[in-house]
Structure 1
Amino acid sequence: MERGLVLLLAVTTASGCGVPTYPPDTGRVVNGDEARPYSWPWQSLLFITQVSLESFFPTCGGTLIAPNWVLTAAHCITFHTYRVVLAEHDMNEEEGPEQSIMVEKMFIHPKWNDNCVSCGNDIALLRLERSAVVNDKVQLACLPQHGAALTHNQPCYVTGWGRLSSGGPQAATLQQALLPVVGHSVCSRSDWWGSSAKTTMVCAGGESQSACHGDSGGPLNCRGRDGRWYVEGVTSFVDGRGCNTPQKPTVFTRVASFIPWIINWDFFLKIQ
């Protein structure tokens, strides 16, 4: 498995992961703003599909980590048929570059408990029916090294089409927000998230800076020292009192804790 991990990371790096053709505008985001179109080209939108009714309902975000694999949150997955849309920006417009691909199979982490989101393991993999066409608007995110750690106050960005505020309208266009990492030693304090914050999670943002309902499953994007963007987190949960509750930052599944599970599906063989 360790050899597979090295191969996977080598292949994704060689493929140009984490380097958008249209770089994100990271200089103006404070409380969240519309993202530059196609600047997060691994961002995907997950739809529940009702084929008999020819209807589609957006439900969660996801991250393209290989041409036919999407990373998302386990709590997003139920017994439905899903499709993934890539190169999406405005959900209300057919803009041209979108790629819509049905999900062939879903893999939920075996330790996920849908009655206890704060217990962790909120992560799932979606295998697509066919590979996405990687181009200037659809690209792969990089995966972090197993066990890699983020530093307190490290700047990262959450992206998605979630609600613009607690109880507010859902965004029509892809949004991004700067969420500085909150170190585990802070996030696990009793007056913060306490024991709900596990070492297999990443806390980021807080108060005016937060993910919100509808952003679930989407990425926490962090730039590495090599200049590439890595999917360091999968959006998991916020405080039940609201998305912007003080000392209750957004909690993400820490991708670096689950690399061995991710590569166990041998999807790296499909991208060589």
Structure 2
Amino acid sequence: MLGILFAVLALASAAFGCGVPSYPPLVTRVVGGENARPYSWPWQVSLQYYANGKWSHTCGGTLIATNWVMTAAHCISSTMTYKVLIGKYNLAATEAGSVAVSPSRIIVHRNWNSNNVANGYDIALIKLSQHVTLSDKIQLACLPAAQTILSSNTPCYVTGWGRLQTNGPLPDKLQQGRLLVVNYATCSSASWWGTTVKSTMVCAGGDGVISSCSGDSGGPLNCQRADGTWEVHGIVSFGSSISCNYYHKPSVFTRVSAYNSWIQQVMATN
């Protein structure tokens, strides 16, 4: 039976591939956040925690295998109970085809230090307690090749259920925001993030208009290849403590291409 199950999963993965949504995102040159097209980012997940008798969204994440989710290390607490919602668009609605799966293991990068976010290593992998079936609403993300560096001004999209403005409410519907990549030389300059930003990070935004915000943490920075395929190049890590949309303080993401070997090693040995 297990052989049949894995064969079916392999066929599903082959049928859907990665990075090509069944419902293509409506990507525009609009500056600012907007409601995403339903199910157009089918690798986006909502990481939720249980407290006071209810489940609440805390972070985003990315489905990278049928039983693995990638998120930020700072989203994980050893004292919390989590579940992962997959195939969701509206967190306030019951949606056909969505699933909720509990983690079986959560592996935080061993070099992560919660007291020093600027040190980097803000990455964690969640092994799901069961494989999910891929569908038109649940698909895998493509990851970039190791050490890929995005060019300055590459347009990418941050997605999540994070706040639309500092101290604002969390939205029910998945949001997307267009951000332009800021190269490392600029982002690490004194008038930007300075030495807070490391080469294992990606900066995007900083125009004072749109950025990731509280609740987006752990979610993907989606960038489109020339052939139309989407790759997840970043994991939302941190932003300005002054304001989500602060000028010259772009959103900072863990650069996925700096951690390819770690991701592969964790998935192979767990």
Q: What TM-score, normalized by structure 1, do the two folds share?
A: 0.91
Residue in 2 aligned with 1:45? Answer: 46
Residue in 1 aligned with 2:151? Answer: 151
Taking the aligned partners of 1:135 and 1:265, their CA distance within structure 2 comes to 25
Aligned pairs for 1:114-263 (under 5 A) are 114-206=114-206, 207-263=208-264
Change (3 A) 1:43 1:194: same
SS state at 2:84 partner = strand
The structure 1 segments of at least 4 consecutive aligned residues displaced by more than 6 Å after TM superposition are none
What is the CA distance between 1:266 and its match in structure 2?
3.5
Residue in 1 aligned with 2:9? Answer: none
What is the CA distance between 1:29 and its match in structure 2?
3.5
The answer to whether the Cα contact below 8 Å between 2:16 and 2:135 also exists between their aligned partners in 1 is no
The answer to whether the Cα contact below 8 Å between 2:163 and 2:171 also exists between their aligned partners in 1 is yes
Give the number of aligned pairs.
257
SS state at 2:106 partner = strand
Taking the aligned partners of 1:194 and 1:13, their CA distance within structure 2 comes to 43
Residue in 2 aligned with 1:88? Answer: 88
Change (3 A) 1:201 1:33: same
What is the CA distance between 1:28 and its match in structure 2?
5.3
CA RMSD, Structure 1 to Structure 2 (Å): 1.8
What is the CA distance between 1:13 and its match in structure 2?
8.3
Taking the aligned partners of 1:124 and 1:27, their CA distance within structure 2 comes to 31
What is the CA distance between 1:15 and its match in structure 2?
5.5
Q: What TM-score, normalized by structure 2, do the two folds share?
A: 0.91
The answer to whether the Cα contact below 8 Å between 2:16 and 2:139 also exists between their aligned partners in 1 is no
What is the CA distance between 1:58 and its match in structure 2?
1.0
Which structure 2 residue ranges, 5 or more long, are not aligned? 1-12
The answer to whether the Cα contact below 8 Å between 1:29 and 1:176 also exists between their aligned partners in 2 is no
The answer to whether the Cα contact below 8 Å between 2:29 and 2:178 also exists between their aligned partners in 1 is no
Residue in 1 aligned with 2:56? Answer: 57
Residue in 2 aligned with 1:70? Answer: 69
SS state at 1:264 partner = helix
Residue in 2 aligned with 1:7? Answer: none
The answer to whether the Cα contact below 8 Å between 1:162 and 1:213 also exists between their aligned partners in 2 is yes
The answer to whether the Cα contact below 8 Å between 2:68 and 2:125 also exists between their aligned partners in 1 is yes
Residue in 1 aligned with 2:3? Answer: none
What is the CA distance between 1:14 and its match in structure 2?
8.2
Amino acid across the alignment from 2:137 = K
SS state at 2:82 partner = strand
What is the CA distance between 1:95 and its match in structure 2?
1.9
What is the CA distance between 1:57 and its match in structure 2?
1.6
Taking the aligned partners of 1:265 and 1:171, their CA distance within structure 2 comes to 33
The answer to whether the Cα contact below 8 Å between 1:81 and 1:103 also exists between their aligned partners in 2 is no
Tell me the alpha carbon deviations over residues 32-69 of structure 1, each in whole angstroms, 9 at most, x when there is no partner.
1000000000000001135xx65212110000000000
Which structure 1 residue ranges, 5 or more long, are not aligned? 1-11
Amino acid across the alignment from 1:63 = T
Tell me the alpha carbon deviations over residues 87-122 of structure 1, each in whole angstroms, 9 at most, x when there is no partner.
111111112221100011000001100001111110
SS state at 1:221 partner = strand
Taking the aligned partners of 1:173 and 1:83, their CA distance within structure 2 comes to 19
Taking the aligned partners of 2:237 and 2:166, their CA distance within structure 1 comes to 16
Residue in 2 aligned with 1:3? Answer: none
Tell me the alpha carbon deviations over residues 161-203 of structure 1, each in whole angstroms, 9 at most, x when there is no partner.
0001011121110000001100101100000000011100000
SS state at 1:172 partner = coil
Amino acid across the alignment from 1:57 = S
Matched, 1:22 2:46: no
The answer to whether the Cα contact below 8 Å between 2:66 and 2:134 also exists between their aligned partners in 1 is yes
SS state at 2:105 partner = strand
